[in-house]
Amino acid sequence: MAQYFSIYFASDDTEVTPIGDTTNAAEFELRFDLAEEDEEEVELYAEAEAGYEVSDAVISLVLTNTTDLTDRFALGDETKAYGNWGADLNLGSFGSGAASKTFWIKARTQPGDDTVERDDETGLEVEGVVSPE
């Protein structure tokens, strides 16, 4: 587990791999020629290690290399209320087990996107205050 908390796929409770490791990353398949917005959103959740809680948590889409594609992704809260494309999501507080916090991510292409590429340069970063429960 990452230090104090991790992000997991809600579909199977597997951990999303950290930035720089794409072995278990969220994936979207989109057609560039249709300027698609993926209808298959991915449900994720943040969970603290047992005995800890995270408050004032904010999830950001971050550039990990050279091509800034963060505006191709949107984050939504547990009700699927999405913010602007590329915007941070205020997750609030979460803990372990039933106190974990669900959120969603979706992707899109933009007009002018005309090549097939794998974006392994955009990551999720979580910042917050960790304290013992």
pLDDT digits (tens, 9 = 90+) for 75-100: 999 999 999 988 999 999 999 999 99
The confidence score (pLDDT) of residue 62 equals: 80
Contact 88, 82 (CB under 8 A): no
Q: In this model, does residue 21 exceed pLDDT 90? A: no
The confidence score (pLDDT) of residue 29 equals: 66
- 131 DSSP β-pair partners: 53
Structural domain boundaries in the chain: 5-132
Contact 77, 89 (CB under 8 A): yes
The confidence score (pLDDT) of residue 17 equals: 74
The confidence score (pLDDT) of residue 56 equals: 97
CA distance 79 to 76: 7
Question: Tell me, which fold does domain 5-132 have in CATH?
Answer: Immunoglobulin-like (2.60.40)
